[in-house]
Structure 1
């Protein structure tokens, strides 16, 4: 087990610098959605979980999850750091619990939650096909007909 190369103060500064919104993964998804002709709202704090992208008329919230931070089952998300492993396991578990609570709260108010994983952004064609199936074509009315 290797020691951290940073002092606790330096590590704290590094972690503070990790962005919470407008990440490269989010920006890549937003460019794709714009190319698809879809209109959306960003970071709706009035919705549970403050989704990264919200489609108001479709009542659909989209969360962009980093594979490591949210414990995805891909190669990057499944790895556990060698240093301070107990902390990271607990941290990812808390993130997953918070994600599940947000999805449940959204469902309670009649919204759908969709998750786009960071690794999915590598194959934009496949992601676009999935999003078209889940969101429908641009300009389409939502499922309630409103």
Structure 2
């Protein structure tokens, strides 16, 4: 059985209240365990063509965020990570770059410079990461600082 498709207006209605969501979920058909197991066995026995496998790997690589969030991160370590982000497999010129490099706010400028116009985004943690235990003003300042330094993702 196909999954129900929800239009945006129906989705908005379904998630508008807890009771609406419960009503929707109760109205869904049960899971056919035997059918699921048979489908899983069929899918598990299939082989993936080499070209499809290569495309899937390239897609996966292009969605990765390489991250370094150690207390002892250095400019050199961030530059090396950015080089890896630009060319994940130096032996394969067709290998795509990753999506982003994630660093602490004080290393955003370094990452931005190392990535140049490669198309790899710079992400940064903020808001007193990892604990988040700071005043709102500190969190807002932390976020603004990372963005001002060139982070495009927080």
TM-score if structure 1 supplies the norm length?
0.28
TM-score if structure 2 supplies the norm length?
0.27
Give 1 or 2: higher strand fraction.
Answer: 1
State which structure, 1 or 2, has the greater radius of gyration over its C-alpha atoms.
2
